[in-house]
Amino acid sequence: MTAVQSAAPVVGSRTQSIPETPPSPAAGAALGAPASAPLESPRRIPVHATDATAAAAIAVVAALASAAALHAARITSAARGPLERSRRSMTETGTTSRAERANFSCTVRAMEAGNDAVTSTMSRLVAALAEEAIFAFAGASGGAKDAIEGIIKRRADAHLAFFQAAAQPAPTMTGGFDAWLVELTRAAAPVAPPVWLPMSEVIREKVTLEAGARGLRSLFSSKPSDKDVQRVKRLGTLSVRVLRAVYAADGPVDAEEGRTIAALVASLGLPEADTAPLYAEAPQSMEEMSVYGDVEANVARAVVRGAWLAAVWDALDPREEQVVRTVASKLNVAQEDVDAMRNEAIARVDARRAAGLAAVDAVRFVLADRVPGAGIQLAALVGTLMLPRRYREETLAQVAAGTPVTLSKRHGGLTGDERAAALGVAWGAALHDDPSLGRRALLRARLDRFAADLGDEGGRVRPMVEAAIDEALAIVASGIR
């Protein structure tokens, strides 16, 4: 506090001294001083006063100084109280009070004053949930709302792991794409197997244990019956061997093909003892392959469709075609049906290309001000996820160059589900960095303009993405004290 001299004219000068009020420890902490720093002893500061008015002014100043120090101490105490209570609550284990939909407790990493670790972690969780929304829309063949809700619900344990100090960080789309894709494919298996997975139709025929027990058994146990386990093991092994044989027909299985095989194996939901050999098994000759047991007609057709899709995903090689036809013969699928499935697979790849191009452009348009940065990274990952391999290189080169997207109705002819996929993927990408309300309004306007160019409405898909993410965040947040 500096010396204060009365502004009134000097009438009869006299000198008076008052003690300078030392800052309290709490006030020192509020101002950034170390809590352990020694405080200076009170000093007596000479102040000139001239009359009663000056003396009163001196008293007022002294009172204000004391009040300011006390106020700072109270503010600091009030600020620290919730932090301390929060820290104690979040590091305790055991049952916590819960909101209507959540019942868990978790250990949250220690939170220091001035660094809201919980909010930061929630933002990272928003990014993970946005990536799950991207995956759901990218792989949905219809019913995207059910797909995104089902996948996010099945990932609840992974969401809680964000707040568990001892948990291993889960792979993400932007940090461990291969492992992330395998994990998300497994989560989607009983809900909405992704359309890009060659044997997704086999999974839809309940060739997976990820759904748990079925029928009356589900009323008493979540564990699948031995009969179901043996069925999935037999038909799942057949599907994996056929897929690997198709990939190996034109050369060694490469990294992307190996990732797709791993995703299929994970989708089966078999015990580790049964899946380990499937991951490492060498390709088998289809001419020498034996088919054990009866293969239901629907499953047999699904295997052949999956084999065709794998063959045409990059470029159909005559050796791959020979493998597919050999498999179809062993599974007793009629020749005319085999030819029809071949044409169907080619049409599916072409349609997938159109939907993938629209999705990539949607992400680039919405995140046009994040280039370089997320506008390129997320668009490239969406292209890898959605575009057939044979059409991918040219598009990803344009993405890497940062070429601006112009609206010119170049994505006409898409179905309603394909438009929804492109817009849903784009909105998931928009929410990836947990934007503020102001930025979200800007992103929403861009999405709506792109949707209008597609002949659709952004408001058709935004609620699906936001509702699923908000629900998951609310469940996690309700368990944090």
- DSSP letters, 179-210, are HHHHHHHHHHTTT---TTSTTHHHHHTT--ST
Q: How confident is the model at residue 84 (pLDDT cuts 50, 70, 90)?
A: very low
Q: How confident is the model at residue 196 (pLDDT cuts 50, 70, 90)?
A: very high
* C-alpha dihedral (444, 156, 117, 133), degrees to nearest 10: -20
Sequence-distant (≥ 6) Cβ neighbours of residue 2 within 8 angstroms: none
C-alpha to C-alpha distance for 283 and 8, rounded to whole angstroms: 100
Exposure string over 141-166, b if 16+ CB within 10 A, otherwise e: beebbebbbbbbebbeebbbbbbeee
Instruction: Compute the average pLDDT of residues 231-244.
Output: 96
| Closest to 410 (Cα-Cα) out of 454, 380, 375 | 454
The first and second tokens of residue 112, run together, are 């220091």
Q: What is the pLDDT of residues 141-152, one digit of tens each?
A: 777 889 999 999
Q: What is the pLDDT of residues 370-390, one digit of tens each?
A: 999 999 999 999 999 999 999
CB hemisphere CA count around 250 (13 angstroms): 19
Find residue 18's DSSP bridge partners. Answer: 45
Dihedral of CA 8/13/17/18: which sign? negative
Cβ-contact 424, 133 below 8 angstroms:
yes
Domains of the chain, residue spans: 14-91
pTM for this prediction? 0.75
Q: What is the pLDDT of residues 40-69, one digit of tens each?
A: 433 333 434 334 443 443 443 344 345 444
